[in-house]
Amino acid sequence: MIKKTIEQVIELTPEELASEFCNSTDGEQSAFFNEISKITGNWKESVDFKFQLQYVTDNAELTDGGREIMALIGQYSDKSKG
């Protein structure tokens, strides 16, 4: 039998990424944010993650709903006292 390995590049759309995130467990979502921290931790100050967030908030494509989600993430980023 001949076996063949095929490599395929698949680019997820923003809709697919959002769906995957929303359907993930709390542990998987935590790992997602931890990974963003690892990736951006090595960025130079000129491309600091704060600048990336500012670019997003200034982008005309960000809806009021998207802005509300960003605000909720900020509000709930502190650990619960309990």
Domain range for 72? 43-82
Residues 48, 80 within the same domain: yes
Question: What percent of the chain is modeled with pLDDT above 90?
Answer: 74
Residues 5-34, mean pLDDT to the nearest whole number: 96
Q: Please tell me whether residues 18 and 47 are part of one structural domain.
A: no
The predicted structure's pLDDT at residue 46: 63
Selection from 41, 60, 57 nearest residue 49 by Cα: 41
Greater confidence (69 vs 44) lies with: 69
Does 35 share its domain with 48? no
**Measuring CA to CA, which residue among 25, 75, 13, 8 is closest to residue 67?**
75
Specify whether the backbone of 15 is left (phi greater than 0), alpha (psi in -120 to 50) or beta.
Answer: alpha
pTM: 0.77
Q: Tens digit of pLDDT for each residue in 31-65?
A: 999 999 998 888 877 678 888 999 999 999 999 99
Domain count, the chain: 2
Per-residue confidence band for 12, with pLDDT thresholds at 50, 70 and 90:
very high
Secondary structure (H, E, C), 28-76: HHHHHHHHHHHHHCCCCHHHCHHHHHHHHHHCCCCCHHHHHHHHHHHHC
